[in-house]
Structure 1
């Protein structure tokens, strides 16, 4: 059984990309441009899924690479194997900048502001510090703690990032709440560790049989303050 939500969390941790920042949309737009420049028709959404599940996800389980390098390496492999494209070094290097410059979802900034008035916030991210620093500014710099994979030499779902943020904040797993979109790298670790977990299911996914069930599920962030007993976010929150 998933750990119940605390009456009042002492820490709220967030995954950033896909949960707070529309990284998927930004990357798909970048890929559309890449294919269009070559006058090559492609189902970008299908290519994106093949890249993510066939190349990027396996890479986060493998030998640690800085995230910009991981993006460039896996995308180069996917483009060559799936589309017959040899990408230029500059196109691959730009992927980290695309990630950094991606916009917040419409509900992110105001929800974080409301929650941060009551509880310390943190983010643990499969990214890189120079990338997430840009994203944090776009989100209004709401985080007391910011940790990326390079801090521990491992990416989620490894437990090291979760242990690091809990240790630095001085809270027990059941006293925190983890908020995340990914059922591939977040839920498989936070739930078994006994961290109450809210799945932000923006894509309307079905939970895989092998993914542990979260404590709660929401379609976006707007209901999160009320769910946690920390107020109610206004409808139509702006970026």
Structure 2
């Protein structure tokens, strides 16, 4: 198994960004703006040339705020960035990743974020992961294939040596699959379908060994 790299999405897959973003926008803008925010995120990361993810977060936050006639202060914008960065881990993450590493998999993340934000998110977990690659590192965003290709180059692998695990087909699984990587949907309750599905991280090791 030592030749297989398990590449996780981070936000929404290993940490619950839906909760942190929904709670913040629900309190300071409107509960009705939450879905609009996530639509804005996928729109911008799919269409923009690289720019810091903090700019994308701010733009989406202000876009939905304006639509709901809310004016946000700079302090609230900064508070939002920190709330995003401190999105809570799902409870199966630490044990599940340790199980994968115990079976010989290399485990890490490829995330649409900035390095300083991911340092906050993963504070204390540096020794749990083998690698962390951000959009800032590859100067590109998922679902663009260039983000994946550059990540493989950093890791020194081909797509055939990678298994991508994500709660989102549209950000990760579809483009990775098209590049030739194996893919697994980690079901976090968003209602997405995929060819191979794990209900939680504790199921994932057995599924990955079958795929490998």
- Backbone CA RMSD of aligned residues: 2.0
Equivalent residue runs for 1:84-123 within 5 Å: 84-117=69-102, 118-123=104-109
**Larger of the two Rg values belongs to structure:** 1
Equivalent residue runs for 1:218-229 within 5 Å: 218-229=198-209
Offset from partner CA, 1:136-191 (integer Å, 9 cap, x none): 23545322221111122221011222122322322221222111111221122111
Higher helix share: 2
Q: What residue is the counterpart of 1:3 in the other structure?
A: none
Q: Distance in 2 between matches of 1:116 and 1:144?
A: 9
Structure 1's consecutive aligned runs of 4 or more residues displaced over 4 angstroms after TM superposition are none
> Could you list the runs of 5+ residues in structure 2 that have no partner in the other structure?
none
Q: What residue is the counterpart of 2:9 in the other structure?
A: 15
Offset from partner CA, 1:199-235 (integer Å, 9 cap, x none): 112124144xxxxx54x112322210121239xxxxx
Q: Distance in 2 between matches of 1:23 and 1:32?
A: 13
Instruction: Name the SS of the counterpart of 1:113 in structure 2.
Output: helix
Q: What residue is the counterpart of 1:52 in the other structure?
A: 38
Equivalent residue runs for 1:142-221 within 5 Å: 142-207=128-193, 213-214=194-195, 216-221=196-201
Instruction: Name the SS of the counterpart of 1:87 in structure 2.
Output: coil
> Could you list the runs of 5+ residues in structure 1 that have no partner in the other structure?
1-6, 36-41, 208-212, 231-239
Structure 2 vs 1, CA of residues 169 and 65 (structure 1 numbering), >3 Å: closer, same or farther?
closer
Q: What residue is the counterpart of 1:210 in the other structure?
A: none
Structure 2 vs 1, CA of residues 135 and 227 (structure 1 numbering), >3 Å: closer, same or farther?
same
Q: What residue is the counterpart of 2:61 in the other structure?
A: 75
Structure 2 vs 1, CA of residues 180 and 9 (structure 1 numbering), >3 Å: closer, same or farther?
farther
Q: What residue is the counterpart of 2:27 in the other structure?
A: 33
Determine which structure has greater relative contact order: mean sequence separation of CA pairs < 8 Å that are 6+ residues apart, divided by chain length.
1
